[in-house]
A and B are shown apart, each in its own frame.
Chain A
Amino acid sequence: MVNVQNVTFSYTKRAELLSNLSLALETGRIHGLLGKNGEGKSTLLKLISGLDFPKSGSIETMGFNPIKRNPDMLQEIFFLPEELPQLTLSIANYENVYAPFYPNFSTEQFNAYLKEFDITDKTLKLNKLSHGQKKKVFIAFGLATNTKLLLMDEPTNGLDIPSKGQFRRMVASAIDENRCLLISTHQVHDLDSLIDSIIVMEKHEIVFNQPIENITKKLFFRVADRNEKDENVIYSEDTLRGLYQVCENTTGEESKLDIELLFNAILTEKNKIVKLF
């Protein structure tokens, strides 16, 4: 679906934002792209969609070179940016204008998603909506386009708590084996039980890219007693509830993945974790 090979990118000549980055995204998966601020997550999404051009290396998006911005490719991509465009259209007119560009757009799905987000009046103007409501419209539209590739940059920013749950449900139901979703976020809890592949960026490169099933096979997540000693512990966080630990999975027993704990563990004990995969 997406193949990024040795890509280097910088906005200025001095500092490279992405250096020699490689990544492959498969269909039928929801990939979570995690990283600290300024690591280049949004830039990577822009590069994949052809909004920015790599300085070196190559990118292939659904068999196309994204920098050409071929309409055949664009009609199979929907990019939800963190900041939304300022449009004076009503929801109905937005659909009327933009839906014909996407051959697989489904009005029924769009209406159903809007309804799930409690947006029933399509005469509402986009510029009169709150940021959260506007985001809901764009999420609903993006899912209804049925594009093969969905890129979402901080999709849950601005959504209220019930809407985050609705978002997870909608996304989970919208993804099939022909679609690929890449979600970039800081809010790892919002992706809990949604993503099935984790990509971590650190120091402008991909340091970790594994499907969830591999992670839980190799790593064990647990809350341990403070006095408990275990030589398999790779990383631990002392909290009020006890020690949250990431251990090497030596027994083959599966545990529930804690994305935030994994992310912190990768940033702190990168070499130990990467060595296991």
Chain B
Amino acid sequence: MNTTLNINRLGLLLKRYFLENKQRELTFWGITMVVFTLMHLAGAQDKFISVEIYLFISGFIFAAGTFKAFNFTPSGMHYLLIPATHLEKLVTAIILSTFYFFVCTLITYTIGTALGTTIGNIFLDMHNPIQFTLFQSTPDFIVNGHSIHKAGNALLNTFIGFAGVQSVFMLGSTHFKGNAVGKTMLAVIAVSIVLGIIELFLLKATFGTYHLDGQMLNFSITQNQNMFTGLETAGTIFKYALIPFFWVVTYFRLTEKEV
């Protein structure tokens, strides 16, 4: 028998999730569609941020509940004793909290936007076109002629950011027993503060000041194009590597979990 990743058991774990949470899922996605419909009654302009905020907040609440079975010892015991590998349990959690949640949000967003705009046009006497701003490119952010935010990658960037947040909160749900949302958020804030302090010290050490007052934008980078590209590549690698990093940590937390 495959004791690493068995597709049949993976399917059983997914089936288990949907049968156990059928009611909750239907309710949540129903509410989400209503929210998106109401959001788009007056058209789709400037709704991109609202949709993203909804996606991220509802997403991390969902992710923080990934391993909620551990909040109650008998449920945690029951979960750990399901005859499946830790990897299969983790992959199931990733599929659900990252891919499934994102795809369902896109589907409800698409339906909600179309419905909301149509209803608004009919009943509120509006004349808005149906626009899916979440799928549209954001304008380039240019620094000294260099494109920082590549147009056309808006949805991918949203997904990467979302997957990153989900991976952190999924780790939080294996680490904290009870109120994983609040505790993970506190942990993220604490880490951010520490990183901020380190950044300040680095600024002081490098430029002799704690604040650059926007002078960063005036730096000439044309002569250091290679350095800038290198930094951008490093940043991209770091951004993409963070997600699997948190998944791997979650895996080890799961293997070491005692109830």
A residues adjacent to B (C-beta < 8 A): 46, 49-53, 69-72, 74-75, 77, 79, 81, 83-89, 93, 96-98, 100-102
Please state if A71 and B85 are interface contacts (CB–CB under 8 Å): yes
**A to B contact number (C-beta, < 8 Å):** 76
B104 interfacial by beta-carbon distance below 8 Å: no
Establish whether residues A97 and B83, one from each chain, have CB atoms under 8 Å apart when the complex forms: no
Closest 10 CB pairs of A and B: A74-B83, A75-B83, A85-B78, A85-B75, A83-B74, A101-B83, A71-B83, A97-B16, A85-B74, A52-B258
Residues of B within 8 A of A69 (CB): 80-81, 85-86, 255
Which residue in chain A gives the minimum CB-CB distance to B256?
A: A53
Give Cα distance in the complex from A84 to B86, angstroms: 22
A100 touching B12 in the complex, CB below 8 Å, given contacts A81-B77, A85-B72, A86-B75? yes
Q: Is the CB of B84 within 8 A of A101?
A: yes
Complex Cα distance, B79 from A70, in Å, reads 14
Per a CB cutoff under 8 Å, which of B16, B258, B259 touches A98?
B16
Known: A71-B1, A71-B84, A85-B78. 9 other contacts (CB 8 A): A51-B81, A69-B81, A69-B85, A69-B86, A71-B9, A71-B85, A86-B75, A97-B19, A98-B16
Query: At the interface, yes or no: B218 with Cβ under 8 Å from chain A?
Result: no
A interface SS class? loop
Contacting pair A88 B258 (CB below 8 A): no
Chain B 58-97, CB-CB to A under 8 Å as 1, else 0, gives 0000000000010011110111111111101000000000
Does A79 contact B81, Cβ atoms closer than 8 Å?
A: yes
Residues of A near B69 (CB, < 8 A) are 85
CB-based contact A86/B72 at 8 Å: yes
User: What separation, in Å, do the CA atoms of A77 and B82 have in the docked complex?
Assistant: 10
**Residues of chain A within 8 A of B80, CB atoms compared:** 50-51, 69
Tell me if A97 and B20 are in contact (CB < 8 A).
yes
A72 touches B82 (CB 8 A): no
- Chain A residues within an 8 Å CB radius of B81: 49, 51, 69, 74, 77, 79
Chain A residue at minimal CB-CB distance from B259: A51
Q: Is the CB of A89 within 8 A of B85?
A: no
Contact of B3 among A51, A53, A70 (CB under 8 A): A70
Q: Is the CB of B83 within 8 A of A46?
A: no
A71 lies within 8 A of B15 (CB): no
Q: B interface vs A, CB < 8 Å?
A: 1, 3, 6, 9, 12, 15-16, 19-20, 23, 69, 72-75, 77-86, 88, 255-256, 258-259
Q: How far is the CB of A138 from chain B (nearest CB, A)?
A: 10
**Can you offer 25 A-B residue contacts whose CB atoms are under 8 A?**
A46-B259, A51-B81, A52-B259, A53-B258, A69-B81, A70-B3, A71-B3, A71-B9, A71-B83, A71-B84, A71-B85, A72-B1, A74-B82, A79-B77, A81-B74, A84-B74, A85-B72, A85-B77, A85-B78, A87-B78, A88-B20, A88-B23, A97-B16, A98-B82, A101-B83
Chain A residue nearest in CB terms to B21: A88
A52 to B258, CA, bound (A): 5
Q: Which residues of chain B come closer than 8 Å to A74, judged between CB atoms? A: 81-84
Point out the residues of chain B lying under 8 angstroms from A89, CB to CB: 19-20
Contact B19 A101 (CB under 8 A): no
**Interface-central residue, A52, A84, A97, by most chain B CB under 10 Å:** A97
How far is it, in angstroms, between the C-alpha of A195 and the C-alpha of B23 when the chains are bound? 43
Question: Which chain A residues border B259 with CB–CB below 8 Å?
Answer: 46, 51-52
* Set of chain B residues within 8 Å of A75, measured between Cβ atoms: 83
| Cβ-defined contact, A83 with B73, below 8 A | yes
How far does the alpha carbon of A81 sit from the alpha carbon of B6 in the complex, in Å? 27
- Contact partners of B6 in chain A: CB under 8 A: 71
